[in-house]
Every structure is written in structure tokens, then in C-alpha cells.
Copies of this chain bind each other. A is one copy, B any other.
Amino acid sequence: MSPDRYPSKLLENAVNEFARLPGVGRKTALRLVLHLLRQEKEDVAYFSNTLIRLRNEVMRCGICHNISDTAICDICGNPSRDAGIICVVESIRDVMAIENTHQYNGLYHVLGGIISPMDGISPSDLEIESLVKRAGAGGITEVILALPTTMEGDTTNFYIFRKLKSFEIAVTTLARGISVGDELEYADEITLGRSILNRTEFEKSMK
């Protein structure tokens, strides 16, 4: 039993539910629940229905597995995007992050995770076979691996790289280097080392 004594079982249930969300403790949960109690009934009903509709109606794009309201997502269905390039990412948050840069006009492939034996995630749990199928179907000139620079990310990169080796496709990865605005002395050695090895022409860097 919780050490807190709630004046109402309904309140306690609602706090319990909010406290199950990641990063939400019981104090925060209580604050959120009391906030909802002060809202109009219609607003709380709308909030709740929005969540139910999201869970029941949202789809995965049949091509890139991004979240979508339709069978094919807006990106895959957009004829002005370059269908010859696929950017491989871990999750839809990465799609959103790259889209927000407005620097990429190709398509995506959302793996739904990365290979992690420690967490029991093997290649078959991820959308890797469908990526290989897309690559093998022709018309793809480049696959950009945009996975995290962790051991798991590197493992996944290498696994995908080997799977794609038989195709005539350039496999690239995001440039690693000093963040814009960062000072050299605070950069870690690996990042600084890579940024020297992969140095770019000064003229190109000014674009």
C-alpha cells in the first residue's frame, strides 16, 4: 500500500495511473490530477478521448513504419521527396528531429529500436528485413545510417551494412564532430579525434 493517504479512491487511482508514466513521480502525478479536477468535464473527456483515439486509430506506415494517420505516411506518399535515399533511424522521434532541420528530402525507415542483446532485442524484433526488402526492390541509391553512437547503435549499423553489401547502394552515416557552438576543450576525445580524421574542406563547412 502507498504510504500516502488519499482522501478519495478515485483520486488515488488517477494518481496511480499518471505515476506509471515515465518520469512522473507521485507528487507530480497528484499535481496533474488536481489540475484536471479543476478543468471542465468536457475538457477532461476530450483529453481522455484523444488518448483512446490515438491508441486505437494511429497506424504504422506500410513502407517506412513511421507513425501515420494513413496506410502510407505523408513523407513516403510525398512525390516531391527523393525516393532514392533512405535514412535509417531508431524511432519516430529521430524522424521528427531530422525533419525539423529541413535539411533532408529523402525517405526514412524506422527500425523501432536497435539491436541490444542485453535488453533481449535481436534483429528479428526490428524492421530490418523490411529495410533489406526495400533496398532490394531497386531504385535506392543511398542508405544513411542515423542510429545512436552507442555500442548497440554500432552493432546495428554493422548488421545492416552487411545485409546491404550485396546491393549497389552507398551506405553512409551521419557526420560526427564538434557540435556547433561547442568549445574544443570540452569535447570528448573520441568526438574530437573523429572530427580531425573526417575534417571537411573549409569552403564546404561555410555553406
> Could you list which residues of chain A lie within 8 angstroms of chain B, going by C-beta atoms?
3-11, 13-14, 17, 20-24, 28, 30-37, 39, 41, 44-58, 61, 66-69, 73-75, 91-93, 95-96, 99-100
Instruction: Select the residue from A3, A66, A67, A75 with max chain B CB neighbours within 10 A.
Output: A67
A5 touches which of B5, B6, B52, B99 (Cβ 8 Å): B99
Question: What is the total number of copies of this protein in its complex?
Answer: 2
Determine whether the beta carbon of B17 is less than 8 Å from that of A69. Answer: no
Chain B residues within 8 Å of A91, by CB? 34
Q: Is the CB of A22 within 8 A of B32?
A: yes
Classify the secondary structure of A's interface with B. Answer: helix
Contact between chains at B34 and A44 (CB < 8 Å):
no
Q: Which residues of B contact A49 (CB under 8 A)?
A: 48
Q: Report B-chain residues with C-beta under 8 Å of the C-beta of A7.
A: 61, 66-68, 73-75, 92, 95-96
Which residues on the B side are within 8 Å of A14 (C-beta)? 50-51, 54
Evaluate contact between B48 and A8: CB separation under 8 angstroms: no
Residue contact A55 to B44, C-beta cutoff 8 Å:
yes
